Amino acid sequence: MLVVDDSKVVRIKTGRLLEKNNYRVLMAEDGLSAVTCLETQPADLLITDVEMPGLDGFGLTQRLRASPRWAGLPVIMITSSDDKHRAEAAAAGVDVLLGKPYDEQALLAEVQRALARAQRGMAAGLVLQ
């Protein structure tokens, strides 16, 4: 998992939750750092904030969707104003939008669902080739 948030507190809190549930966690403080991280370290899922300096969560998701390598990477976006950003998140290609503060069990459930969908998609792609 790659957790992207400009708040160190949020990165650490989310990272600890995921690590406690046996996920390997990478962290980045903004969208550009996330892109750099993904170039050298694989991730199965991205959890990102919306508002970050430089490349925000929408721009990061759009960049990933435009890349053949990362187009299928599941993206969970967490924002303090989820209703305000719902349409823009969908247009950018975000898979799941959660509000802050998020319920830990809800986040873990969305992570599991997103990973399962990604696995099914990969399996379907292998069958078709």
Angle 92-97-19 from CA coordinates, rounded to 5°: 110
How many CB atoms within 10 Å of residue 48?
25
Where is pLDDT greater, at 82 or 28? 28
Write out pLDDT tens, residues 35-70.
Answer: 999 999 989 999 999 999 999 999 999 999 999 999
Write out pLDDT tens, residues 86-99.
Answer: 888 889 999 999 98
How far is CA 46 from each of CA 28, 107, 126, rounded to the nearest angstrom? 10, 12, 23
CATH superfamily of the 2-128 domain = Response regulator (3.40.50.2300)
Task: Write the single-letter amino acid at 31.
Answer: G
Q: What pLDDT band is residue 29 in, cutting at 50, 70 and 90?
A: very high
Q: How far is it, in rounded angstroms, from Cα 47 to Cα 11? A: 10
Domain ranges of the chain: 2-128
User: What pLDDT, on the 0 to 100 scale, is given for residue 82?
Assistant: 60
Question: Residue 129 above 60 pLDDT?
Answer: no
